[in-house]
Amino acid sequence: MRRSLDAVIDPEIRRPITELDMVGDVSVDADGAAQVDIRLTIVGCPAARTIERDVREAIARVDGVTSTSVDVGVMSREQRAALTERLRGPGKRRMPFTADSLTRVIAVTSGKGGVGKSTVTANLAVSLAARGLAVGLVDADVHGFSIPGLLGLDDPERPGRAVRPTRVDDMILPPVAHGVKVISIGMFVDDPATAVAWRGPMLHRTIDQFLTDVYFGDLDVLLLDLPPGTGDVAISVGQILPHAEVIVVTTPQAAAADVAERSGTVARQTGQHVIGVVENMGAFVAPDGTVVEMFGSGGGADVAERLSRGQEAAVPLLASIPLSVDLRRGGDLGIPVVLDRPDDPAARAITALTDAVMSRGRGLAGRPLGVNVV
Ligand SMILES: Nc1ncnc2c1ncn2[C@@H]1O[C@H](COP(=O)(O)OP(=O)(O)OP(=O)(O)O)[C@@H](O)[C@H]1O
Protein backbone atom coordinates (compact mmCIF):
# COMPACT_ATOMS: atom_id res chain seq x y z
CA MET A 1 0.00 0.00 0.00
CA ARG A 2 2.94 2.33 0.74
CA ARG A 3 4.02 1.93 -2.89
CA SER A 4 0.72 3.42 -4.05
CA LEU A 5 1.83 6.69 -2.43
CA ASP A 6 4.75 6.93 -4.88
CA ALA A 7 2.22 8.52 -7.19
CA VAL A 8 1.58 11.41 -4.79
CA ILE A 9 3.79 14.35 -5.70
CA ASP A 10 4.48 17.29 -3.41
CA PRO A 11 3.28 20.17 -5.63
CA GLU A 12 6.00 22.54 -4.46
CA ILE A 13 9.02 20.26 -4.28
CA ARG A 14 7.78 18.20 -7.22
CA ARG A 15 8.99 14.87 -5.93
CA PRO A 16 6.99 11.85 -4.65
CA ILE A 17 6.13 12.25 -0.96
CA THR A 18 7.55 8.78 -0.33
CA GLU A 19 10.97 10.08 -1.43
CA LEU A 20 10.66 13.08 0.86
CA ASP A 21 10.07 11.07 4.06
CA MET A 22 6.65 12.59 4.37
CA VAL A 23 4.96 9.24 4.88
CA GLY A 24 4.86 7.78 8.41
CA ASP A 25 2.92 4.66 9.40
CA VAL A 26 0.67 3.10 6.81
CA SER A 27 -1.70 0.29 7.82
CA VAL A 28 -4.90 -1.42 6.85
CA ASP A 29 -7.10 -3.56 9.13
CA ALA A 30 -9.04 -6.71 8.35
CA ASP A 31 -12.11 -4.71 7.29
CA GLY A 32 -10.11 -2.71 4.74
CA ALA A 33 -9.91 0.49 6.83
CA ALA A 34 -6.65 2.21 5.89
CA GLN A 35 -4.74 4.57 8.18
CA VAL A 36 -1.94 6.80 6.82
CA ASP A 37 0.28 9.23 8.72
CA ILE A 38 1.64 12.13 6.66
CA ARG A 39 4.31 14.57 7.86
CA LEU A 40 4.35 17.94 6.14
CA THR A 41 7.41 20.14 5.98
CA ILE A 42 5.96 23.09 7.87
CA VAL A 43 2.81 24.08 9.74
CA GLY A 44 0.28 25.62 7.39
CA CYS A 45 2.06 24.22 4.33
CA PRO A 46 0.03 25.61 1.42
CA ALA A 47 0.26 22.28 -0.37
CA ALA A 48 -1.30 20.41 2.59
CA ARG A 49 -4.78 20.12 1.17
CA THR A 50 -3.57 18.90 -2.22
CA ILE A 51 -1.30 16.31 -0.65
CA GLU A 52 -4.02 15.02 1.69
CA ARG A 53 -6.51 14.75 -1.18
CA ASP A 54 -4.01 12.96 -3.42
CA VAL A 55 -3.10 10.54 -0.60
CA ARG A 56 -6.78 9.68 -0.08
CA GLU A 57 -7.27 9.10 -3.79
CA ALA A 58 -4.14 6.95 -4.10
CA ILE A 59 -5.06 4.77 -1.10
CA ALA A 60 -8.68 4.43 -2.23
CA ARG A 61 -7.42 2.85 -5.46
CA VAL A 62 -5.65 0.03 -3.57
CA ASP A 63 -7.49 -3.30 -3.80
CA GLY A 64 -9.38 -4.18 -0.64
CA VAL A 65 -9.38 -0.70 0.89
CA THR A 66 -12.86 0.28 2.03
CA SER A 67 -12.13 3.53 3.88
CA THR A 68 -9.15 5.85 4.43
CA SER A 69 -8.15 7.93 7.40
CA VAL A 70 -5.27 10.39 6.97
CA ASP A 71 -3.45 11.89 9.93
CA VAL A 72 -1.57 15.04 8.96
CA GLY A 73 1.36 16.08 11.16
CA VAL A 74 4.51 18.15 10.78
CA MET A 75 8.13 17.04 10.51
CA SER A 76 10.44 17.46 13.45
CA ARG A 77 13.31 19.91 13.13
CA GLU A 78 15.71 16.98 12.56
CA GLN A 79 13.51 15.46 9.88
CA ARG A 80 13.30 18.83 8.14
CA ALA A 81 17.04 19.33 8.30
CA ALA A 82 17.56 15.85 6.84
CA LEU A 83 15.13 16.67 4.03
CA THR A 84 16.76 19.98 3.05
CA GLU A 85 20.18 18.34 3.15
CA ARG A 86 18.96 15.51 0.94
CA LEU A 87 17.36 17.87 -1.58
CA ARG A 88 20.33 20.17 -1.77
CA GLY A 89 22.97 17.53 -1.53
CA PRO A 90 25.28 17.00 1.42
CA GLY A 91 27.67 19.60 2.73
CA LYS A 92 27.29 23.32 2.94
CA ARG A 93 24.99 25.45 0.85
CA ARG A 94 26.24 26.00 -2.65
CA MET A 95 25.07 27.52 -5.90
CA PRO A 96 23.96 24.61 -8.08
CA PHE A 97 24.08 26.37 -11.47
CA THR A 98 27.82 26.16 -11.95
CA ALA A 99 29.47 25.84 -15.35
CA ASP A 100 29.48 22.04 -15.19
CA SER A 101 25.84 21.64 -14.11
CA LEU A 102 23.46 20.18 -16.67
CA THR A 103 21.17 23.21 -16.54
CA ARG A 104 21.24 25.72 -19.39
CA VAL A 105 21.22 29.21 -17.93
CA ILE A 106 19.77 31.90 -20.17
CA ALA A 107 19.66 35.56 -19.08
CA VAL A 108 17.27 37.86 -20.92
CA THR A 109 18.39 41.46 -21.10
CA SER A 110 17.45 44.66 -22.89
CA GLY A 111 18.89 48.11 -23.34
CA LYS A 112 15.80 50.13 -22.58
CA GLY A 113 12.94 49.43 -20.20
CA GLY A 114 9.44 48.64 -21.45
CA VAL A 115 10.51 46.79 -24.60
CA GLY A 116 8.68 43.65 -23.46
CA LYS A 117 11.64 41.74 -22.03
CA SER A 118 9.61 40.31 -19.12
CA THR A 119 6.71 39.41 -21.39
CA VAL A 120 9.06 37.59 -23.78
CA THR A 121 10.83 35.81 -20.90
CA ALA A 122 7.57 34.65 -19.28
CA ASN A 123 6.22 33.34 -22.57
CA LEU A 124 9.49 31.63 -23.48
CA ALA A 125 9.55 29.96 -20.05
CA VAL A 126 6.05 28.49 -20.30
CA SER A 127 6.63 27.54 -23.91
CA LEU A 128 9.78 25.59 -22.95
CA ALA A 129 7.89 23.97 -20.05
CA ALA A 130 5.08 22.98 -22.42
CA ARG A 131 7.69 21.05 -24.42
CA GLY A 132 8.32 18.94 -21.33
CA LEU A 133 11.45 20.70 -20.08
CA ALA A 134 11.98 21.42 -16.38
CA VAL A 135 12.14 25.22 -16.33
CA GLY A 136 12.98 27.73 -13.60
CA LEU A 137 12.59 31.48 -13.89
CA VAL A 138 14.35 34.06 -11.72
CA ASP A 139 12.84 37.53 -11.90
CA ALA A 140 15.81 39.74 -11.13
CA ASP A 141 14.18 42.88 -12.50
CA VAL A 142 14.23 44.99 -9.36
CA HIS A 143 12.69 47.95 -11.07
CA GLY A 144 9.81 46.07 -12.56
CA PHE A 145 9.41 42.58 -11.07
CA SER A 146 6.45 41.96 -13.33
CA ILE A 147 6.97 38.21 -13.76
CA PRO A 148 4.58 37.11 -10.95
CA GLY A 149 1.75 39.13 -12.51
CA LEU A 150 2.53 37.92 -16.03
CA LEU A 151 2.29 34.31 -14.83
CA GLY A 152 -0.76 34.73 -12.59
CA LEU A 153 1.17 34.46 -9.31
CA ASP A 154 -0.67 37.25 -7.54
CA ASP A 155 -1.58 36.71 -3.91
CA PRO A 156 -5.37 36.40 -3.72
CA GLU A 157 -5.28 37.90 -0.21
CA ARG A 158 -3.06 40.86 -1.12
CA PRO A 159 -4.25 42.31 -4.42
CA GLY A 160 -1.41 43.61 -6.57
CA ARG A 161 1.21 41.67 -4.55
CA ALA A 162 2.95 38.47 -5.51
CA VAL A 163 2.37 35.18 -3.67
CA ARG A 164 4.85 34.38 -0.93
CA PRO A 165 6.99 31.29 -1.41
CA THR A 166 7.00 28.51 1.19
CA ARG A 167 10.15 28.29 3.30
CA VAL A 168 11.45 25.07 4.79
CA ASP A 169 14.08 26.36 7.23
CA ASP A 170 16.53 28.24 5.00
CA MET A 171 15.32 26.56 1.84
CA ILE A 172 12.82 28.49 -0.29
CA LEU A 173 10.35 26.60 -2.48
CA PRO A 174 9.53 28.51 -5.66
CA PRO A 175 5.83 28.79 -6.54
CA VAL A 176 4.94 27.00 -9.77
CA ALA A 177 2.97 28.70 -12.56
CA HIS A 178 2.06 27.03 -15.86
CA GLY A 179 4.73 24.40 -15.17
CA VAL A 180 7.50 26.95 -14.43
CA LYS A 181 9.19 27.34 -11.03
CA VAL A 182 9.28 31.06 -10.38
CA ILE A 183 11.09 33.25 -7.91
CA SER A 184 10.91 37.04 -7.86
CA ILE A 185 12.12 39.89 -5.72
CA GLY A 186 8.47 40.93 -5.73
CA MET A 187 7.68 37.84 -3.58
CA PHE A 188 9.85 39.12 -0.74
CA VAL A 189 9.12 42.82 -0.44
CA ASP A 190 5.97 44.21 1.14
CA ASP A 191 6.20 47.53 -0.58
CA PRO A 192 6.97 47.20 -4.29
CA ALA A 193 8.94 50.46 -4.04
CA THR A 194 11.45 48.96 -1.57
CA ALA A 195 13.77 46.96 -3.78
CA VAL A 196 14.14 49.71 -6.32
CA ALA A 197 16.23 51.63 -3.79
CA TRP A 198 18.58 48.70 -3.07
CA ARG A 199 22.23 49.30 -3.74
CA GLY A 200 24.67 46.98 -5.50
CA PRO A 201 25.82 44.72 -2.60
CA MET A 202 22.24 44.08 -1.47
CA LEU A 203 21.20 43.21 -5.00
CA HIS A 204 24.22 40.93 -5.40
CA ARG A 205 23.35 39.08 -2.18
CA THR A 206 19.73 38.72 -3.25
CA ILE A 207 20.60 37.24 -6.63
CA ASP A 208 23.13 34.93 -4.99
CA GLN A 209 20.51 33.86 -2.43
CA PHE A 210 17.93 33.20 -5.15
CA LEU A 211 20.35 30.90 -6.89
CA THR A 212 21.57 29.16 -3.72
CA ASP A 213 18.64 28.95 -1.30
CA VAL A 214 15.77 28.47 -3.72
CA TYR A 215 15.17 24.80 -4.31
CA PHE A 216 14.66 24.47 -8.06
CA GLY A 217 15.54 20.78 -8.21
CA ASP A 218 17.00 19.46 -11.46
CA LEU A 219 16.28 21.99 -14.19
CA ASP A 220 16.83 21.74 -17.91
CA VAL A 221 16.69 25.51 -18.31
CA LEU A 222 16.97 28.41 -15.88
CA LEU A 223 15.84 31.75 -17.32
CA LEU A 224 16.71 35.06 -15.70
CA ASP A 225 14.74 38.23 -16.37
CA LEU A 226 17.31 40.99 -15.85
CA PRO A 227 16.52 44.65 -15.30
CA PRO A 228 16.95 46.78 -18.41
CA GLY A 229 20.37 48.28 -19.01
CA THR A 230 23.82 47.50 -17.73
CA GLY A 231 23.45 48.15 -14.01
CA ASP A 232 24.43 46.31 -10.84
CA VAL A 233 22.19 43.28 -11.34
CA ALA A 234 23.47 42.57 -14.86
CA ILE A 235 27.04 42.76 -13.56
CA SER A 236 26.30 40.55 -10.52
CA VAL A 237 24.64 37.95 -12.73
CA GLY A 238 27.66 38.13 -15.02
CA GLN A 239 29.96 37.46 -12.07
CA ILE A 240 27.86 34.70 -10.51
CA LEU A 241 26.94 33.04 -13.81
CA PRO A 242 29.73 33.81 -16.29
CA HIS A 243 28.76 30.77 -18.35
CA ALA A 244 25.19 31.98 -18.92
CA GLU A 245 23.81 32.44 -22.40
CA VAL A 246 22.23 35.81 -23.11
CA ILE A 247 19.27 36.90 -25.23
CA VAL A 248 18.97 40.62 -26.01
CA VAL A 249 15.45 42.00 -26.49
CA THR A 250 14.96 45.19 -28.45
CA THR A 251 12.26 47.00 -30.41
CA PRO A 252 12.39 47.69 -34.16
CA GLN A 253 13.23 51.32 -33.40
CA ALA A 254 16.65 52.35 -34.66
CA ALA A 255 17.14 54.67 -31.67
CA ALA A 256 17.04 51.69 -29.28
CA ALA A 257 19.87 49.85 -31.02
CA ASP A 258 22.78 51.60 -29.25
CA VAL A 259 21.62 50.74 -25.72
CA ALA A 260 20.57 47.23 -26.70
CA GLU A 261 23.99 46.62 -28.21
CA ARG A 262 25.64 47.89 -25.01
CA SER A 263 23.75 45.42 -22.80
CA GLY A 264 24.95 42.59 -25.05
CA THR A 265 28.50 43.89 -24.93
CA VAL A 266 28.53 44.14 -21.13
CA ALA A 267 27.24 40.57 -20.86
CA ARG A 268 30.05 39.47 -23.12
CA GLN A 269 32.65 41.27 -21.01
CA THR A 270 31.76 39.02 -18.07
CA GLY A 271 32.27 35.97 -20.27
CA GLN A 272 28.64 35.32 -21.12
CA HIS A 273 27.67 34.20 -24.59
CA VAL A 274 25.10 36.22 -26.56
CA ILE A 275 23.02 33.58 -28.36
CA GLY A 276 20.76 35.96 -30.20
CA VAL A 277 18.50 38.97 -30.42
CA VAL A 278 14.70 39.09 -30.16
CA GLU A 279 12.86 41.96 -31.77
CA ASN A 280 9.60 42.74 -29.97
CA MET A 281 6.74 45.13 -30.76
CA GLY A 282 7.24 44.63 -34.50
CA ALA A 283 4.76 45.43 -37.27
CA PHE A 284 1.23 44.08 -36.96
CA VAL A 285 -1.47 43.62 -39.57
CA ALA A 286 -4.61 45.66 -38.86
CA PRO A 287 -8.02 44.06 -39.53
CA ASP A 288 -8.23 45.91 -42.88
CA GLY A 289 -4.90 44.38 -43.94
CA THR A 290 -2.80 47.48 -43.39
CA VAL A 291 0.66 46.72 -42.02
CA VAL A 292 1.35 49.06 -39.09
CA GLU A 293 4.98 49.62 -38.14
CA MET A 294 4.33 51.45 -34.88
CA PHE A 295 7.99 51.35 -33.83
CA GLY A 296 9.58 51.37 -37.26
CA SER A 297 11.52 48.38 -38.54
CA GLY A 298 14.93 46.81 -38.68
CA GLY A 299 16.05 47.36 -35.06
CA GLY A 300 16.41 43.65 -34.25
CA ALA A 301 18.47 42.87 -37.34
CA ASP A 302 20.56 45.99 -36.70
CA VAL A 303 21.42 44.96 -33.12
CA ALA A 304 22.18 41.39 -34.27
CA GLU A 305 24.49 42.73 -36.95
CA ARG A 306 26.29 45.06 -34.51
CA LEU A 307 26.77 42.27 -31.95
CA SER A 308 28.13 40.02 -34.70
CA ARG A 309 30.98 42.36 -35.57
CA GLY A 310 34.32 40.90 -34.67
CA GLN A 311 32.75 37.60 -33.60
CA GLU A 312 33.61 34.20 -35.02
CA ALA A 313 29.95 33.26 -35.37
CA ALA A 314 27.21 35.70 -36.31
CA VAL A 315 24.67 36.58 -33.62
CA PRO A 316 21.27 35.64 -35.09
CA LEU A 317 17.95 37.44 -34.89
CA LEU A 318 16.08 34.62 -33.14
CA ALA A 319 12.53 35.96 -33.58
CA SER A 320 10.52 39.02 -34.44
CA ILE A 321 7.41 39.34 -32.31
CA PRO A 322 4.66 41.66 -33.56
CA LEU A 323 2.63 44.02 -31.43
CA SER A 324 -0.36 42.03 -30.26
CA VAL A 325 -3.43 42.79 -28.22
CA ASP A 326 -3.69 39.12 -27.19
CA LEU A 327 -0.07 39.09 -25.97
CA ARG A 328 -0.68 42.19 -23.87
CA ARG A 329 -4.01 40.87 -22.58
CA GLY A 330 -2.50 37.49 -21.70
CA GLY A 331 0.10 39.32 -19.63
CA ASP A 332 -2.54 41.32 -17.82
CA LEU A 333 -4.53 38.16 -17.06
CA GLY A 334 -1.53 36.09 -16.02
CA ILE A 335 -2.11 33.54 -18.79
CA PRO A 336 0.69 33.74 -21.36
CA VAL A 337 -0.50 34.06 -24.95
CA VAL A 338 1.45 30.97 -26.04
CA LEU A 339 -0.90 28.90 -23.87
CA ASP A 340 -4.08 30.91 -24.28
CA ARG A 341 -3.97 31.87 -27.97
CA PRO A 342 -1.28 29.76 -29.63
CA ASP A 343 -2.42 30.90 -33.11
CA ASP A 344 -1.91 34.58 -32.40
CA PRO A 345 0.96 35.87 -34.58
CA ALA A 346 2.91 36.93 -31.45
CA ALA A 347 2.43 33.46 -29.94
CA ARG A 348 3.67 31.88 -33.16
CA ALA A 349 6.75 34.09 -33.10
CA ILE A 350 7.44 33.01 -29.51
CA THR A 351 7.02 29.38 -30.56
CA ALA A 352 9.63 30.03 -33.26
CA LEU A 353 11.86 31.58 -30.59
CA THR A 354 11.41 28.46 -28.45
CA ASP A 355 12.41 26.27 -31.42
CA ALA A 356 15.46 28.44 -32.05
CA VAL A 357 16.54 28.33 -28.39
CA MET A 358 16.06 24.56 -28.18
CA SER A 359 17.82 23.85 -31.44
CA ARG A 360 20.90 25.78 -30.40
CA GLY A 361 21.56 23.33 -27.59
CA ARG A 362 23.89 24.44 -24.89
CA GLY A 363 26.96 26.51 -25.68
CA LEU A 364 30.31 25.37 -24.40
CA ALA A 365 31.48 28.88 -23.52
CA GLY A 366 33.08 28.93 -20.09
CA ARG A 367 32.49 25.23 -19.48
CA PRO A 368 35.08 22.68 -18.52
CA LEU A 369 35.30 20.27 -21.44
CA GLY A 370 36.38 17.31 -19.33
CA VAL A 371 39.24 16.52 -21.71
CA ASN A 372 42.46 15.28 -20.17
CA VAL A 373 45.61 16.08 -22.07
CA VAL A 374 48.29 13.43 -21.46
N1 LIG B 1 4.42 42.47 -28.56
C2 LIG B 1 3.69 43.20 -27.72
N3 LIG B 1 2.48 43.67 -28.09
C4 LIG B 1 1.72 44.42 -27.26
N5 LIG B 1 2.07 44.75 -26.02
C6 LIG B 1 3.27 44.30 -25.58
C7 LIG B 1 4.14 43.51 -26.39
N8 LIG B 1 5.24 43.20 -25.65
C9 LIG B 1 5.07 43.77 -24.45
N10 LIG B 1 3.89 44.45 -24.40
C11 LIG B 1 3.38 45.25 -23.29
O12 LIG B 1 4.33 46.27 -23.03
C13 LIG B 1 4.42 46.52 -21.64
C14 LIG B 1 5.86 46.36 -21.18
O15 LIG B 1 6.23 45.01 -21.27
P16 LIG B 1 7.23 44.32 -20.24
O17 LIG B 1 6.85 44.65 -18.83
O18 LIG B 1 7.35 42.90 -20.63
O19 LIG B 1 8.55 45.12 -20.62
P20 LIG B 1 9.99 45.05 -19.96
O21 LIG B 1 10.94 45.28 -21.08
O22 LIG B 1 10.16 43.83 -19.16
O23 LIG B 1 9.96 46.30 -19.03
P24 LIG B 1 10.92 46.61 -17.78
O25 LIG B 1 12.20 45.92 -18.03
O26 LIG B 1 11.01 48.10 -17.81
O27 LIG B 1 10.20 46.07 -16.59
C28 LIG B 1 3.47 45.56 -20.95
O29 LIG B 1 2.26 46.23 -20.70
C30 LIG B 1 3.25 44.46 -22.01
O31 LIG B 1 1.97 43.87 -21.91
Residues 133-169: tens digit of each pLDDT:
999 999 988 777 899 999 999 888 787 788 888 888 8
Cα 281 to averaged position of ligand 1 atoms, centre (Å) = 9
Q: Is the CB of 229 under 6 A from ligand 1?
A: no
| ipTM value for the complex | 0.98
115, 117, 118, 119: which to mutate for ligand 1, most atoms within 8 A of CB? 119
More confident residue, 304 or 47: 304
Its pTM stands at: 0.85
CB atoms within 10 A of CB 313: 8
DSSP state of 227: P
Q: Is the CB of 116 under 6 A from ligand 1?
A: yes
**What are the start-end ranges of the E strands in 142-282?**
166-168, 171-173, 176-177, 180-184, 221-225, 245-250, 273-282
Q: Is the pLDDT of residue 24 over 80?
A: yes
What domains sit in the chain, N to C, each tagged with a CATH number? Answer: 2-88 (3.30.300.130), 104-360 (3.40.50.300)
Q: Is the pLDDT of residue 367 over 60?
A: no
Q: Is the CB of 123 under 6 A from ligand 1?
A: no
Where residue 36 falls among pLDDT bands split at 50, 70, 90? very high
Q: Is the CB of 276 under 6 A from ligand 1?
A: no
Q: Is the CB of 230 under 6 A from ligand 1?
A: no
Name every residue whose Cβ is closer than 8 Å to that of residue 130 and which is 6 or more positions away in sequence.
178, 179, 338, 339
Give 282-332 pLDDT, tens digit per residue.
999 888 989 989 998 899 999 999 999 988 889 999 999 999 999 999 999
366: buried, middle or exposed (CB in 10 Å: 19+, 13-18, 0-12)? middle
Q: Is the CB of 228 under 6 A from ligand 1?
A: yes
Q: Which atom of ligand 1 is nearest to the CA of 328?
A: 31
* Count of CA atoms in the C-beta half-sphere (13 A) of 69: 9
Residue whose Cα lies nearest atom 26 of ligand 1: it is 113
Cα 323 to averaged position of ligand 1 atoms, centre (Å) = 10
Sheet holding 67-74, edge to edge: 23-28, 33-40, 67-74
Element (H, E) at 34: strand 33-40
Query: What Cα–Cα distance (Å) separates residue 190 from each residue in 44, 154, 186, 331?
Result: 20, 13, 8, 22
